[in-house]
Amino acid sequence: MCGRFAVTLPPESFREAYGYVETPNFPPRYNIAPTQPVGVVIQEGEARHFRLMRWGFLPGWVKDAKDFPLVINARRESITQKPTFRAAIRRRRCVFLADAFYEWQREGGEKTPFAVRMQSLGPMPMAGIWETWSDPQGGEIDTAAIVTTDANGLLSAIHHRMPVILGKAGLAAWLDPQTPLDRVGGLTDPCPDDWLRLDRVSRRVNKVANDDAALLEPATDDESSRAPGASARETDARRADEQGQGQGQEQGQETKPRQGSLF
């Protein structure tokens, strides 16, 4: 699964990697959460484009967004069958701009955060789907979800799911609207272990309000564990901040992370 990620590289690094025609300028974000605006790449004809979308997928047939659960991930095993995703996986595939994501390892009642990045520390092409949703007043919003798959060997040590991460050839096929659906399914296998690096990081990432470069730094033992003598109230507050982590399923309960702007 994927419930938080980061976009920290210069904008030109993503443009060079993905070849979209726009030249957006945006600051680094170290703790992007559901419902916040996110940058994605789509393809129209032969041209790739940068688009800003809401992270939280809404299929076009939804009448009232308040009655539909927050959908941040789409499982590859059921993406072609579920009515929520069937149209998007065929015609509206995208790639999320990212260079890291966070995952939490559960150990008893505790959850330890890890940052996952490419070994190259370059862009991480996370596969997604998107849909334009229209409200009853005629307003439109573009929405997107990250496609997930089984964890590879590296990630399986901390969680059983991970985002679909595309290679160069897979990226081109994923974005191409003409790619047959049977080939699309073959692009969603877990990526090789040696593409990724895994670092235990500070529990500060649990709180959406924390958004700084220190979140990606490998944690010391003191940073990763609760300080001795911490009160029960502090523990409860930390757990409240963790609500929603590892919860990103197709029909998961909506959480209330702080809203923020990517730009």
For residue 250, what pLDDT is reported? 41
Q: What is the value of pTM for the model shown? A: 0.86
6-30 confidence digits (pLDDT tens): 999 999 999 999 999 999 999 999 9
Q: Which residues contact 222 (CB under 8 A, 6 or more apart)?
A: none
Beta strand pairing status for 37-44 and 47-55? Answer: antiparallel
208-223 confidence digits (pLDDT tens): 999 999 999 999 876 5
Q: Known catalytic residue: 94?
A: no
Please name each of the domains of the chain with its CATH number.
4-241 (3.90.1680.10)
For residue 223, what pLDDT is reported? 58
Q: Known catalytic residue: 12?
A: no
52-72 confidence digits (pLDDT tens): 999 999 999 999 888 899 999
Asked if residues 111 and 242 have their Cβ atoms less than 8 Å apart, the reply is yes
Nearest to 219 by CA among 201, 206, 207: 201
For residue 136, what pLDDT is reported? 84
Catalytic residue among 2, 94, 191, 250: 2
State the Rg of the chain over Cα. Answer: 18
Strand partners, 148: 75, 163
Half-sphere exposure of 100 (CA within 13 A, CB side): 27
Flag residues of the chain having pLDDT under 50.
224-263
Distance (Å, rounded) from C-alpha 229 to C-alpha 218? 24
Catalytic residue among 94, 103, 242, 250: 103
By residue count, the chain amounts to 263
Beta strand pairing status for 196-200 and 93-96? Answer: unpaired
